[in-house]
Amino acid sequence: MKQTSTQPKPISQAPATARQAQIAEIVRDQGHAKVDDLATQFSVSTQTIRKDINAMCEKGLLRRVHGGVELSPTTADHYDLRRVLNFSVKREIGQAAAALIPNEATVAVSIGTTPELVVASLGQHHGLHLFTNNLQVAMTAHRFEGAEITIPGGRLRQAEADIVGPSAVAFFDSYRFDIGLFGVAAVSPDGALLDLSEEDVHSREAISRNAETRILVLDSSKFTRKAHACSGHITDVEHVVCNSRPPEALCAMLDAAGVNLVICNEAPQ
């Protein structure tokens, strides 16, 4: 296996959002980070780094410790934190998955930061009809010219800014979709799809059974994460979009089932 350095290369004049995403990833991987080290890392001033850190602390993503910052212990599953972690990878997945969605499609979109970034890549599409229980997705798509966005009523889960429960399931069961777009919390070694709650599973099931074509979006961390609510299998979809190749056993399952596996930045075989 190719070894990579634990110290990323300096990044000059990175946009603030991209730099903050990388700061979050560095802090996650190292447990903490010093302001001076981050300034050197990104070839910017300590004042610039402090502005980034202040913004992230105000959102509750980081907390200050002596000489630097660490992840806030209360935000392990914070939506805004998940949004910035692995941001560049998820954006690549989003662009690759968006290429599979035609103009004028009717698309059901699940909760999750990766589906949100798929939708963010659909701005040049026209005639889209989006149905989602993810308010982050709805707010992203409402800026698209000509797009129609439909959301369900029901209970708002504040931490995720999504609508869950029976009303979300009934919502997705009320339509038929060209495309069902969803992610999962984890994929087990035997290919089972896992989520963090039964509510998430039930909404995903409703999207899947009412979609003609299903797209599962995954970053590679999902193959090592743990989750307990199980429903469905990685081969139950038409397309799997990932940033790197899944474990070989899963690749063999996908190939045997005829599932189209799309790896970002990998040339077609």
In three-state form (DSSP H/G/I as H, E/B as E, the rest C), the secondary structure along 62-120 is EEEECCEEEECCCCCCCHHHHHHCCHHHHHHHHHHHHCCCCCCCEEEECCCHHHHHHHH
| Predicted local distance difference test score (pLDDT) of residue 77 | 54
Find all residues with CB under 8 Å of 227, minimum gap 6, and list them.
184, 185, 186, 194, 195, 196
Taking the CA atoms of 87, 89, 92 and 93 in sequence, report the sign of the dihedral they define.
negative
Q: Does 10 reside within a domain? A: no
Radius of gyration of the chain (CA): 19
Residues 73 and 92 occupy one common structural domain: no
On whether the CB atoms of residues 25 and 85 are closer than 8 A, the answer is: yes
Q: Name the band, by pLDDT with cuts 50, 70 and 90, for residue 3.
A: very low
Q: Which helix (H) or strand (E) holds 131?
A: strand 129-132
Residues 122 and 207 occupy one common structural domain: yes
Distance CA 162, CA 154 (A): 10
Taking the CA atoms of 237, 263, 217 and 70 in sequence, report the sign of the dihedral they define.
positive
On whether the CB atoms of residues 218 and 179 are closer than 8 A, the answer is: no
Residues 172 and 255 occupy one common structural domain: yes
End residue of a domain, out of 49, 66, 82: 82
Residues 190 and 258 occupy one common structural domain: yes
Q: What tens digit of pLDDT does each residue of 49-86 get?
A: 989 888 888 877 788 888 788 887 665 456 666 666 66
Apex CA 31: angle with CA 29 and CA 37, to 5°? 85
> Which of these ranges, 1-10, 26-35, 208-217, 233-242, has the smallest mean pLDDT?
1-10
Residue 31 belongs to domain with CATH number: 1.10.10.10
Q: Does 31 reside within a domain? A: yes
What's the token pair of residue 149? 């966005």
Q: Does 194 reside within a domain? A: yes
Query: How high does pLDDT run on average in the chain?
Result: 86
Name residue 216's beta-bridge partners.
182, 240
Residues 160 and 225 occupy one common structural domain: yes
Residue 204 belongs to domain with CATH number: 3.40.50.1360
End residue of a domain, out of 82, 102, 119: 82
> Which of these ranges, 106-110, 171-175, 265-269, has the smallest mean pLDDT?
265-269
Residues 58 and 103 occupy one common structural domain: no
Q: Does 4 reside within a domain? A: no
Q: Which domain holds residue 30?
A: 16-82
Residues 117 and 233 occupy one common structural domain: yes
Q: Does 5 reside within a domain? A: no
Q: Strand 68-71 relative to strand 62-65: parallel, antiparallel, unpaired?
A: antiparallel
First-last CA distance in the chain: 21
Shortest CA distance to 194 belongs to which of 176, 210, 182? 182
pLDDT over 70 for what percent of the chain?
86
| Predicted local distance difference test score (pLDDT) of residue 186 | 93
Cα dihedral angle (14, 182, 267, 122), rounded to 10 degrees? Answer: -60
| Predicted local distance difference test score (pLDDT) of residue 90 | 87
Shortest CA distance to 213 belongs to which of 238, 182, 184? 238
Q: HSE, CB side, 13 Å, CA atoms: give it for residue 215.
A: 27
Q: Which residues of 77-106 are buried (b: 16+ CB within 10 A; e: fewer)?
A: ebbbbbbbbbbebbbbbbbbbbebbeeebb
Residues 99 and 173 occupy one common structural domain: yes
**Based on the structure, what is the number of domains in the chain?**
2
Residues 48 and 165 occupy one common structural domain: no
Residues 115 and 246 occupy one common structural domain: yes
Residues 70 and 200 occupy one common structural domain: no
| Predicted local distance difference test score (pLDDT) of residue 57 | 84
Q: Does 197 reside within a domain? A: yes
| Predicted local distance difference test score (pLDDT) of residue 124 | 93
Residues 123 and 28 occupy one common structural domain: no
pLDDT, greater one: 199 or 7: 199
Q: What tens digit of pLDDT does each residue of 19-39 get?
A: 887 787 788 767 889 999 998
Q: Does 268 reside within a domain? A: no
Q: Does 2 reside within a domain? A: no
End residue of a domain, out of 82, 99, 134: 82
| Predicted local distance difference test score (pLDDT) of residue 68 | 87
Distance CA 92, CA 86 (A): 10
Q: Name the band, by pLDDT with cuts 50, 70 and 90, for residue 149.
A: very high
Distance CA 172, CA 203 (A): 7
